[in-house]
């Protein structure tokens, strides 16, 4: 469980670092330094650590109780949304980034991240009725292919939740 959360947090941190560098090179006049980006990245990474860390435990519980695919997606989405929001909010409080009006923005980000976690279950064929297995496949032991499919499942979850 810890490794899933650490991997999630590391991926988000790396992605945020790349985004900051792209912003720096594409708009040097409006560039904000690391002192502005760093605390936000830490808060988001804490949210990812908690939501990614709980993901495997919730998946295992859903399999243990023979939960169908749609129900598992919903349970995982809700649990991971709550954990992401908790980590993000806690991180902001610790780093004193609490700004008025962030509640809605943080909530929608948490829901989108929870949706990504929920759709990630599509790579697991142990759930009955897994219609996403046709689209995002199942892990087959090929590192690059498995990583791309996992990324696609998460991306699909982000997009579907954000559109909805």
> Which parts of the chain have pLDDT scores under 50?
none
Specify whether the CB–CB gap between 123 and 138 falls below 8 A.
yes
At 23, give phi and psi (nearest 5°): -60, -40
Specify whether the CB–CB gap between 50 and 110 falls below 8 A.
no
User: What is d(CA 5, CA 83) in angstroms, rounded to the nearest whole number?
Assistant: 11
pLDDT of residue 1: 62
pLDDT of residue 99: 66
10-58 confidence digits (pLDDT tens): 888 888 788 778 877 887 776 666 667 778 888 899 999 999 999 999 9
Helix (H/G/I), strand (E/B), else coil: 120:
helix
Six-digit token string for 58: 């919730």
Six-digit token string for 81: 């949304």
For the chain, the domains span 2-163
Specify whether the CB–CB gap between 54 and 80 falls below 8 A.
yes
Helix (H/G/I), strand (E/B), else coil: 75:
helix
This prediction has a pTM of 0.85
* Long-range pairs of 56-63 with CB within 8 A, sequence gap ≥ 24: 56/1, 56/4, 57/1, 59/121, 59/124, 62/121, 62/127, 63/126, 63/127
pLDDT of residue 7: 82
pLDDT of residue 141: 76
Helix (H/G/I), strand (E/B), else coil: 82:
helix
pLDDT of residue 162: 87
């Amino acid at each position: 469980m810890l490794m899933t959360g650490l991997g999630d947090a590391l991926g988000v941190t790396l992605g945020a670092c790349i985004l900051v560098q792209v912003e720096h090179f594409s708009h040097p006049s409006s560039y904000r330094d690391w002192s502005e980006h760093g605390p936000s990245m830490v808060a988001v990474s804490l949210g990812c650590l908690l939501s990614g860390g709980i993901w495997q435990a919730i998946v295992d519980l859903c399999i243990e109780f023979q939960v169908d695919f749609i129900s598992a997606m919903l349970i995982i989405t809700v649990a991971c949304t709550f954990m992401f929001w908790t980590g993000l909010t806690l991180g902001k409080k610790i780093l004193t980034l609490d700004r008025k009006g962030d509640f809605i923005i943080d909530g929608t980000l948490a829901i989108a991240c929870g949706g990504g976690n929920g759709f990630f279950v599509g790579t697991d064929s142990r759930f009955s009725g897994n219609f996403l297995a046709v689209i995002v496949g199942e892990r087959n032991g090929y590192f690059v292919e498995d990583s791309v499919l996992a990324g696609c499942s998460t991306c699909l979850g982000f997009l579907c939740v954000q559109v909805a």
